[in-house]
Amino acid sequence: SKANAHNGYRVYEEVMSEGFNAYLTLGGGLRKAIEEGQFELYYQPKVRSLDEQTVGAEALIRWHHPEWGMIAPDKFIPIAEESGLILPLGEWVIRRACQQLKIWQEQGLAPISLSVNLSGRQFLQPNLVDVVQQILDETDINPKLLELELTESMLMSDVHGTIKKLHDFREMGVSLSIDDFGTGYSSLAYLKKFPIQALKIDRSFIQDLGIDGEDDAIVKATIAMAQSLNLKVIAEGVENRQQMSLLTDYQCQEVQGYLFAKPMSCTDFEVYLEKFSNS
Ligand code: C2E
Ligand code: CA
Ligand code: CA
Ligand code: CA
């Protein structure tokens, strides 16, 4: 019957996902993937609202598993965090992003900034600042082109340590932004203590813009607050023209989302840049 089929499917799914998690938890899969270079960075354009020019990109990791196919970061980042493999993996991401910036610079492309997501455990790693400094030295890129995306929860877990770390990054010239803004528990009082340059409004507030009046109010207020604190605002997950025109009205400086482009492989992103960048 239909119910049985449905049940059967659920059981199958559960077994599959248990097996999959067990497989990953062993760490063997991830460890091997790092050694064998099964990861790739995709790039999603950041667009300036004013003239819709591409001014940067966010690097988003992808895992091409030889048997399981493409695995989304939401699936393996938490497991990499638990096993500690996030440290080598996270370092790979920063290095790969900086190497790519260097390649684009050598190709003579108009400079764009590249942002990289950090995970909680990676941010708490005591030698993170040294790791980033070493990668900047190695790749010899302008530190201003590198932006680190941090979440509220990672900033709030050790506020004193966080402030010191953020200042170290600022001295190096690296940009800092708060990702998924509005979904965590950051105190507004700390926002002004953290030397950050940008807030990224989470997609969950953008989704129903123009439909849900409360989201409109939250987004508007966030942008106004950011402006008065001299922070740039970026909206994530912009999918349609209605959202875009509201965000432009509210004076949100930059946007990211499927309306402009999905995250793309490096090759596709270079083609996109040729077509759409300001040069
Ligand atoms: P995030 O940092 O909030 O990244 C935005 C996510 O939203 C990306 O998913 C992106 O593909 C997706 N997205 C962008 N525009 C739209 C849109 O218009 N509509 C919809 N529905 N989705 C959109 P992705 O690439 O699957 O990444 C998921 C999360 O995984 C990221 O969320 C980030 O927290 C994490 N992540 C990705 N790459 C890395 C990495 O290199 N290191 C760490 N630590 N985390 C990463
Ligand atoms: Ca992000
Ligand atoms: Ca995030
Ligand atoms: Ca988000």
Ligand nearest the Cα of residue 44 is: 1
> Is residue 93 in contact with ligand 1, taking CB distance under 6 Å?
yes
Residue 17 and residue 11: Cα distance in Å, rounded?
A: 10
**CA–CA separation, 275 vs 54, rounded Å?**
10
Ligand 1 touching residue 179 (CB < 6 A): yes
pTM over 0.95: no
> 39: CA distance to ligand 2 center in Å?
17
- Write down the H helix ranges in 107-240: 120-124, 128-139, 152-156, 159-172, 188-191, 203-206, 213-228
Looking at 66-202, which runs of residues are DSSP E strands? 69-71, 113-117, 146-151, 175-181, 198-201
Closest listed ligand to the CA of 95: 1
Q: From the CA of 119, how far away is ligand 1's center (Å)? A: 12
Predicted local confidence at residue 18, as pLDDT: 64
- What pLDDT, on a 0 to 100 scale, did the predictor assign at position 5? 43
Q: Which pLDDT score is estimated for 23?
A: 61
Q: What is the pLDDT of residue 225?
A: 92
Separation of CA 4 and ligand 2 centre (Å): 40
Report the first-to-last Cα separation within the chain, whole angstroms. 61
Confidence (pLDDT) at 147:
98
Q: With a 6 A CB cut-off, is 51 part of the ligand 1 pocket? A: no
Pocket test for ligand 1, best of 30, 46, 117, 207 (most atoms within 8 A of CB): 117
pLDDT digits (tens, 9 = 90+) for 178-194: 999 988 877 777 888 89
Dihedrals phi, psi of 209, to nearest 5 degrees: -60, 130
Q: Which residues surround ligand 2, an ion (CB under 5 A)?
A: 117, 149, 179
Q: Which residues pair with 103 in a beta bridge?
A: none
Beta bridge partners of 89: none
Q: What is the pLDDT of residue 252?
A: 98
How does DSSP classify residue 183? S
Buried b (16+ CB within 10 A) or exposed e, 242-273: ebbebbeebebbbbbbebbbebbebeebbebb
Cα(71)–Cα(68) distance, integer angstroms: 7
CA distance 14 to 106: 48
Residue nearest to atom 4 of ligand 1 (CA): 60
Q: Which of 79, 81, 236 to mutate to test the pocket of ligand 1 (most atoms within 8 A of CB)?
A: 236
The token pair at 247 is 């965000």
Segments of the chain scoring below 70 in pLDDT: 1-27, 277-279
